Amino acid sequence: TLFTKCRSQQVHLSSEIGLTEGPITSVALNVTAAATAVTFTDFTIRLKHTARTSYGVSSSDRIWETDGFTTVYQGNITVSTTGYYTFAFTTPFTYDGVSNLMVDYSYRIASPTTSNRPTVSGTDRGSTRSIKYYTSTTTYGEPLTWSGVSPPAFGESRIADIQLGMTTYHQLSPATTSAFTNGVWAGNLTLGSAADSVTVMARAKAVRSPARRASS
């Protein structure tokens, strides 16, 4: 919050993500200091698969990427409590289960402040795993539009500690029920593993329409 515009682009390796293929539905940042008086405008989170594992030492390698992102969250937020702050995605991101993940954060605030500054926890990964830039000028436009080497980004080996939420699908047992009686079936269902917020979905078999004979 020392500046009015900020953007950070961070690379998480697939080995750190530890998820299988499926829709990522949320990301949570671990807030270690809150900022109740600051409103972050157009706080935007974008995700995409990436072959990149780190950034080089040259400024020409610290590139603001623009293509291939899915905007999963955008809104105005105030962070009033510490602990994991969860951003529920308005658009889920379909993760392929094997690729590295690039997470792009950007926001604006009305005016700089040196007090009541928020912080989130992060881990030093040893190599340059993120780029960032912050400014209070209008020279480079809005953070969402930054591209290439404009503005010139700073390299950082630390990336945010995040928790990713994913919708997973499990096969119930039995996979097929016996016949319904008067529209009702009763029986025991077994889920392969423990899970939170379980929703059970049932699908009817296709019912064929009676064959029609052509008249002559």
What's the confidence (pLDDT) of residue 198? 67
pLDDT per residue, tens digit, the chain (216 aa), is 889 999 999 999 999 999 999 999 999 999 999 887 889 999 999 999 999 999 998 989 999 999 999 999 999 999 989 999 999 999 999 999 999 999 999 999 999 888 778 899 999 999 999 999 999 999 999 999 999 999 999 999 999 999 999 976 667 778 788 888 887 888 888 876 666 666 676 766 655 555 454 443
Residue 215: the pLDDT is 44
Q: What phi and psi, each to the nearest 5 degrees, are found at residue 85?
A: -100, 115
- Kind of pairing between the strands at 70-79 and 100-108: unpaired
pLDDT in the model for residue 180? 84
Residue type, 81: T
The runs of H, that is alpha helices, within the chain are 14-17
Q: What is the 3-state secondary structure (H, E, C) of 62-113?
A: CCECCCCCEEEEEEEEEECCCEEEEEEEEEEEEECCCCEEEEEEEEECCCCC
Contact assessment for residue 187 and residue 174, using Cβ atoms and an 8 Å cutoff? yes
Nearest-10 Cα torsion for 9, 12, 17, 21 = 70
Q: Where are the beta strands (DSSP E) in the chain?
A: 5-12, 22-33, 35-50, 70-79, 83-95, 100-108, 119-120, 122-124, 130-135, 154-156, 158-160, 162-166
| pTM of the model as a whole | 0.79
Cα–Cα dist 120/90, whole Å:
22
Assess contact for 46 and 145: CB atoms under 8 A: no
Phi and psi at residue 60, to the nearest 5°:
-70, -15
- Among 8, 65, 28, 31, which residue's Cα sits nearest to residue 163? 28
What is the C-alpha to C-alpha distance for residues 43 and 74, in angstroms, rounded to an integer?
A: 5
